[in-house]
Structures are given as C-alpha cells and as structure tokens.
Amino acid sequence: MNFKRSSVIFLMMILFLNVCNIIFGISGWLYLIPGVFLFTMTGIGSFRIGMSFYFTVICKFKSPQNIVITFDDGPHETTTPKVLEVLKKHEVKATFFCIGSKAEQHPELVKRIYNEGHIIANHSYCHKEMYGFFSTKKIIADLSQCNAVLNKIIGKNPRFFRPPFGVTNPNMKRALKKYPLIPIGWSLRTLDTVKKNPEEIIDRLRKTKPGDIILFHDRVENIEKVLDEYLLFCKQQSLVISPLDEMIKLPSYD
C-alpha cells in the first residue's frame, strides 16, 4: 500500500458513499470513514519506511546468502573507532550514514571510514527531531549542505541517503526529485538506541535473513561488542556481509 493507492481507495469510498446517499440517503457521519482511513494510512506510511509510501525506498534486496550492514548517526569520537576496529577484525565492509554536522566536527573519522573501504552516505546535515516537518526547500538545503561537507572530506558526493528517523513525506519526495539521492531504508532494526541489554539486541539480530539491510548506530555505547558477536553469528550461519552498492547494483558516489 502506498500513497497513490490509498488516495484511489479514498476516492472510491467517497464515490460509493455519494451513490448510497443518492439512492438510500445516509448519515453524513459516514463520510468520516474515508477521511479516517486516509489519515491513518498517511500516518503509518510516514513512519514505516519499509512501505515506500510516498516514494521508493530500498530496504531489501534479493540474495541467497548476502546481507548488508549499515550504521546511522555518526561519526562519534569514541564509539565509531571501536566499530571500525571490529569491522577490520572480521574483514567486513559497511555503509555509514553520516550526519553532516558531526562529520564537520570529526573529519578525520569520516576520512578513516572512507579510507578503510566503507561507504560514506548522507543522513542529513542537522538530523533535527522536527525534520519531518521541514519544507521542500529546507530539505534540499540540508541535503546539499551534508553532501558538501562530506565532499570536502572525501572528495566525492555520496548518492545514498537515509531519512532521519526513517520518516518520509511529500516534501521529501519533492526534495529528492530536485536534489536526487537514492533513499535507503532497512529491513531489520537492531533497536540498539532503545534496548540497553546487549542480549536483547543479539536476539533480534538472530532473525537476520538473506537480503536484509541491517540498521545499527555507531554512536551507541558498547555497540562494538554486539557487533563482534553478531559478525561471529553471521559466519556460523554462512551469511555473507557485502557492500551496499554491490548488492543493489548502484554507485555509491557521483
């Protein structure tokens, strides 16, 4: 279900009620039903990135044994280096969706991520809680500012973008048409920013299936320990962790 289909169903419901009203006469209160339906669907669609409600978001891919690991909200001065050490230990490549303002503060970390063979991607410049209410113009300016910061550090413009908090809306759709980036979501969240018990996070990660895009946060304390255990689990399950660009067959940079 996406916005277009929801709108068609909404209009069909209105048409059906109009016909019923002409033939039988019905209560005006019944017209609230289509409105509640559309309001509910747009609310759910905005917060569930996997629905691709307003525009197509890559949240999964087809593969018999490969998965992709991604990190949001970095770079972080203390936890990101620990994550990088674990990835190096297991010879795994990941994608880091960086916040532009943090990249400005820690350019050496962004450069290290890139130099160690990981993908650098756009996760907005400001990552504010009200990002979902930004105008199209403000989103474009924010995306451009983030890419400008990252380009200054690594000399390339990232093409992959993950919306802050996974929230999508019509303004973002219009922004991505004018400032074209490739939206990337996820199919399995670690909930590492919510769950404090590492075992609970590992239990969630045991649900991993081929084709999954996994969401971690490299700003979470002790996430490197969870990551280390998870990568061992992947080896035991014969899951191959591959770069995002190779799996979705799209270039990481302009």
Are 101 and 205 in the same domain?
yes
Are 106 and 227 in the same domain?
yes
Whether residue 217 lies inside any domain: the answer is yes
Which has the closest alpha carbon to 15: 37, 2, 38, 31? 31
Structure tokens at 46: 């905005």
pTM, two decimal places: 0.94
Strand, coil or helix: 191: coil
Phi/psi at 123 (nearest 5 deg)?
-125, 30
Looking at residue 118, the DSSP 8-state letter turns out to be: P
> Is 72 part of the annotated catalytic residue set?
yes
Burial 104-138 (b: 16+ CB within 10 A, else e): bebeebbbebbeeebbbbbbbbbbeeebbebebee
Are 86 and 187 in the same domain?
yes
Whether residue 58 lies inside any domain: the answer is no
- The CATH number that applies at residue 166 is 3.20.20.370
Are 180 and 234 in the same domain?
yes
- What average pLDDT does this structure show over 3-17? 96
Range of the domain at 214: 66-248
The string of pLDDT tens digits covering residues 121-179 is: 999 999 999 999 999 999 999 999 999 999 999 999 999 999 999 999 999 999 999 99
Whether residue 59 lies inside any domain: the answer is no
**Catalytic entry in 123, 192, 217, 245:** 217
Calpha distance 48→9 (Å, rounded): 20
Structure tokens at 41: 């669907």
Are 82 and 43 in the same domain?
no
Q: How many domains does the chain have?
A: 2
Are 18 and 144 in the same domain?
no
> Is 217 part of the annotated catalytic residue set?
yes
Q: Binning pLDDT at 50, 70 and 90, where does residue 47 land?
A: very high
Q: State yes or no: pLDDT of 196 exceeds 90.
A: no
**Catalytic entry in 72, 192, 218, 245:** 72
Whether residue 52 lies inside any domain: the answer is no
Looking at residue 65, the DSSP 8-state letter turns out to be: S
Are 110 and 174 in the same domain?
yes
Q: How far is CA 79 from CA 177, 229, 248, in A?
A: 35, 16, 28
Are 135 and 241 in the same domain?
yes
Whether residue 57 lies inside any domain: the answer is no
Whether residue 94 lies inside any domain: the answer is yes
Are 180 and 140 in the same domain?
yes
Phi/psi at 144 (nearest 5 deg)?
-65, -40
